[in-house]
Amino acid sequence: MTDTLHVVVTGASSGIGAATIRALTTEGVHVTATARRSDRLADLAKETGCVTVVADITSDKDVAALVKAATKAGPVHALVNCAGGALGLEAVSESALAEWSSQYELNVVGTVRVTQAFLPALRESGRGDIVFITSTAGHDPYEGGAGYVAAKAAEVALVRTLRLELTGSGVRVIEIAPGMVHTEEFTLNRFRGDQARADEVYKGIDPLMAEDVADAIAWAIHRPHHVNVDLMILRPREQAGPSKTVRYMTVGD
């Protein structure tokens, strides 16, 4: 374990988190994967050989158990904060306050909880990395997305502040902010299980895939440790921003 990079990945049961685990384990990295769904984690462990810990990042008890399990296996060199999500696409005037709260609790407070818990181990490892998967939503607002935009903007503020606080500590703070990414659950969850509405989001464009973001994460982690990737923004070629997406026409449109 002392000669092998050990990375903890949250939000591991699907999407970018699962793709990141596949990318890292293929490269020989030892990965501790964590998420809430034990069945998904079991399948991922069988596929990749990663170690799994069932945990909810909104729970102090779960996160403490996660840290104990991960550090028992040896030094932890990197934490990849993938856990997050969006709910709804309503205007501010019509949005549900409970969804604002749950998005903030998951994307911001949960991320802080895990980051705080692993910081001592990352410092002790001798080459600590904290990778935050934020979103272009945290940099550019869009209509109907205020709850998610606000949560991701807060996460971006967290990243920038933490980088200032950790400069000189030997721990890198890396932000990767994807635009439109087609995963199996993100938009489906946002639209509360409405598959047709979720599919419409990706119509007429070649979106990023989870593997594209995972590739960027692996690349950033593997840079020489004196190199810090402060911010990497990834978007589909035809998406210049939240208000500028060019879609191609298909037969029957």
Helix locations, the chain, DSSP H: 15-26, 38-48, 60-72, 97-104, 110-125, 146-166, 186-190, 195-201, 210-221
Which residue out of 142, 148, 202, 248 is catalytically annotated? 148
Cα(221)–Cα(165) distance, integer angstroms: 20
Tokens standing for residue 111: 């991320």
Contact 175, 232 (CB under 8 A): yes
Helix (H, G, I), strand (E, B) or coil at 232: strand
Crossing angle of helices 15-26 and 210-221, in 10° steps, is 50
Tokens standing for residue 61: 């008890």
Cα(205)–Cα(207) distance, integer angstroms: 6
Cα(8)–Cα(118) distance, integer angstroms: 9
Residue 32 φ then ψ, to 5°:
-105, 115
Give yes or no: 148 in active site. yes
Angle at 180 between CA 51 and CA 252, to 5 degrees: 125
Catalytic positions, please?
Answer: 148
